[in-house]
Chain A
Amino acid sequence: MANDRDAVWADRYSRQIRFAPIGEQGQRKLADACVLIVGVGALGASLAQHMVRAGVGEVRLVDRDFVEPSNLQRQMLFDEADALAVLPKAVAAANKLRVINSGVKVTAEVAEVGRGNAERLAAGTQLVLDGTDNAKTRVLLSDVCYRLGIPFVYGGVAGAGAMSAVLIPGETSCFRCLIGADEHEQEADTCDTVGVLAAAVEFTAALQAAEAVKWLTGNRAAMRGTWLSADLWSFRVREAALPKGRAACAYCGQPHGAAAAAGQADSEGPEMVSALLCGRDSVQVTLGRALDLSRLECRLRERGCALTVNRYLVKAVLQDGVSLVLFPDGRVLVQGTHDAGRAVELCKEYILEQELPAPR
């Protein structure tokens, strides 16, 4: 009976509602809210769990990667079965989240976020939560958020270091102005070079989640309003005031919600693009067109590759220990190498030439 079922869950949010700044009214606002979480790795998984347990009405997940053993030390939603099944992170996370709270609408998309899909994913949300691992995607998300008038909740982690800030259209500078979009400027420390402490992940995600709950429950005056940097090992926390938007900027220099539609939705082009993944001995190669996985599966099997197949991807282990993980959206994660050139060559050899008719 519906009434009995309701009675069982009546206290579900009681401790959150008892927290005075949220209350019944804040809880209703959470239930009406929709958030996008970009990247469901360490930060994203933790953020997703916070949002789903808090009772946010709709949680959208998007991630380009799959679960593997090295994730389990810090990515709180995943387990050994997910890694063995090579499940995409967005899918594995959504499976867990639906068990945690069936009242939340959880959607999962296995894709790389780029100019072609970012605006569609963010449209209709009240917040975009940052679980990405690179500055380039953050610049893109910030641009889209400022265009749509949606706050962007930045979070970053590496080693024991944490950083976070909420960038709000009409109030603060945007990510593009604050950090810059220059790809020649390298990040000093990444999860690849310095590793990452699980506690630093949770610390950062907690900072982001607290601001998200404030925003979604209408507690705008309680927003922290600073760029916070912390080191959990030496325990140092610093906060710097966030400057207002820069008048000359096409994104944060505009009145709320009126940012320019500049550079919108131009595709990455057909050429191959490679990028190193954070914390992984992997290179992502974007082929620029969709892949027919069932056809490729047969060809790769014929070439003697050991395959793991699920409905989201095909993983092929090559002779020399390198693996190719193929996604239908045209991306290949080449595992077991840092060498982008080699990764591209392997994709040409195993995927492009097999899929195209042979020239002879």
Chain B
Amino acid sequence: MGKDTWKDFRLYVITAESNHPGKALVDVMEQTLIGGADILQLRNKTGSREEVLGQAKALRELTRKYNVPFIINDYPDIVLEVDADGVHLGQEDLPIAEARRLLGPEKIIGISTHSLQQALAAERDGADYIGVGPVFPTDTKPGRAAVTTSYVAEAARHVTIPFVAIGGITLGNVDTVLASGARRICSVSAIVGSSDPAATCRSFLERIEGASAGTLLVNVNGREQLTSARTIEEFVKQLEQHNKKLVVERNGELVPRALWAETELLSGDAIELVHFVGGG
């Protein structure tokens, strides 16, 4: 795997054994990889170190076979021991700088964030990706308030490293998360708890790809609107305003008419269109 190609991942899966009683961990996770999941995390908050190490060795072997990056929640020592691709940290776990010191520059370090402030701090501290959530209330992390899709939209606007939306995401609500600007989705129970994890993964990927090719959610003159436009120029055309002299403002700054064609529209953008006033 090239050094940065892992960043192109779209569907992030995480283990959750309690969601598939009677089915073996490795079998369920192999089904997710067959379905197209392109990054896998081992998360085991209750087992002993010995148990986690055993699972890590098995999943390392499995993810090698499918050429998919393998991340371990916490346990930087096990990351080194099994040569996993990286570690995922929580806000209360060891600091990013400490993890970097332990793991060296090559390993992937991800961290869960619950606010834009935490996201920007993680970016500053050298995280390689962040989790953004929980978007919806979830049993995987009971007791944590949902951050809603508004944080997803904020992340889409302000975060420059890869971010993955997580928390209570199902095939029933993934479209609103995508419309808020997420292009990487993590789902736990909806995938590993399903009767056919491979099929569920394929469905998630279809929706993610559809969104990448499709619509953005922008705020136009104070109202949310979905659009397939990629640039300000296309957007103005879609609104049938292109024959008028307009002043276009994007996120508080005027967009020169000369730059409409090359100014990309992003999900979460706040656009203000005002007719040019020219009398004197």
- Which A residues are within 8 Å of any B CB, using their own CB? 39, 41-44, 130-135, 138, 155-158, 161-163, 173, 176-180, 182, 184-191, 196, 227, 229, 238, 240-243, 246, 248-249, 278-279
Bound complex: CA A14 to CA B93 (Å):
67
A-B contact pairs, 27 of them (CB 8 A): A43-B280, A133-B278, A133-B280, A135-B245, A157-B277, A157-B280, A158-B278, A177-B258, A178-B254, A178-B257, A178-B258, A182-B257, A184-B243, A185-B243, A185-B245, A186-B244, A186-B245, A187-B245, A189-B275, A190-B278, A229-B277, A240-B252, A240-B272, A242-B253, A243-B253, A243-B259, A279-B279
Bound complex: CA A223 to CA B253 (Å):
17
CB distance from B179 to the nearest CB of A (A): 26
**Interface flags, B253-280, vs A, CB<8A=1, else 0:** 1111111000000000000101111111
Bound complex: CA A313 to CA B237 (Å):
45
Partner of B276, one of A187, A248, A279: A187
Interface size of B by CB at 8 A reads 23
CB distance from B120 to the nearest CB of A (A): 21
7 extra interface residue pairs, beta carbon distance < 8 Å, beyond A43-B280, A184-B243, A188-B275: A156-B276, A157-B277, A240-B247, A240-B252, A240-B253, A242-B254, A278-B280
Q: B256 touching A246 by the CB < 8 A rule?
A: yes
Instruction: Give chain A residues whose Cβ lies under 8 Å from the Cβ of B255.
Output: 243
Instruction: Give chain B residues whose Cβ lies under 8 Å from the Cβ of A238.
Output: 249, 272, 274
User: A185-B245, A188-B245 known; A133 and B279 CB under 8 Å?
Assistant: yes
Instruction: Give chain A residues whose Cβ lies under 8 Å from the Cβ of B256.
Output: 173, 177-178, 243, 246
A-B CB proximity, top 10 nearest: A180-B257, A188-B275, A156-B277, A133-B280, A240-B249, A163-B277, A158-B279, A191-B279, A177-B256, A241-B253
CB distance from A23 to the nearest CB of B (A): 32
Q: A179 touching B280 by the CB < 8 A rule?
A: no
Q: A179 touching B276 by the CB < 8 A rule?
A: yes
Instruction: Give chain B residues whose Cβ lies under 8 Å from the Cβ of A130.
Output: 280
Instruction: Give chain A residues whose Cβ lies under 8 Å from the Cβ of B247.
Output: 163, 178-179, 227, 229, 240
Bound complex: CA A131 to CA B280 (Å):
5
Instruction: Give chain B residues whose Cβ lies under 8 Å from the Cβ of A191.
Output: 279
User: A177-B257, A246-B258 known; A196 and B245 CB under 8 Å?
Assistant: no
Bound complex: CA A48 to CA B247 (Å):
27
Closest chain B residue, CB of each to CB of A132:
B280
Bound complex: CA A42 to CA B277 (Å):
14
Q: A179 touching B277 by the CB < 8 A rule?
A: no
Instruction: Give chain A residues whose Cβ lies under 8 Å from the Cβ of B249.
Output: 227, 238, 240
Partner of A179, one of B242, B243, B257, B279: B257
Bound complex: CA A103 to CA B245 (Å):
41
Instruction: Give chain B residues whose Cβ lies under 8 Å from the Cβ of A176.
Output: 258
User: A180-B245, A188-B245, A238-B249 known; A227 and B280 CB under 8 Å?
Assistant: no
> For A43, A161, A179, A248, which residue has the most chain B Cβ atoms within 10 angstroms?
A179
B residues 226-252 with Cβ under 8 Å of A? Answer: 242-247, 249, 252
Closest chain A residue, CB of each to CB of B257:
A180
Bound complex: CA A240 to CA B251 (Å):
9
Instruction: Give chain B residues whose Cβ lies under 8 Å from the Cβ of A180.
Output: 245, 257-258
Q: B280 touching A240 by the CB < 8 A rule?
A: no
Partner of A227, one of B242, B243, B254, B275: B254
CB distance from A244 to the nearest CB of B (A): 10
CB distance from B259 to the nearest CB of A (A): 7
Q: B277 touching A162 by the CB < 8 A rule?
A: yes
Bound complex: CA A182 to CA B278 (Å):
14
CB distance from A93 to the nearest CB of B (A): 14
B residues 154-199 with Cβ under 8 Å of A? Answer: none
Closest chain B residue, CB of each to CB of A176:
B258
Closest chain A residue, CB of each to CB of B258:
A177
> For B256, B275, B277, which residue has the most chain A Cβ atoms within 10 angstroms?
B277
Bound complex: CA A196 to CA B277 (Å):
11
Partner of B258, one of A188, A240, A249: A249
Instruction: Give chain A residues whose Cβ lies under 8 Å from the Cβ of B280.
Output: 39, 41-44, 130-133, 155-157, 278
Bound complex: CA A189 to CA B244 (Å):
10
Bound complex: CA A180 to CA B260 (Å):
10
Q: B276 touching A278 by the CB < 8 A rule?
A: no
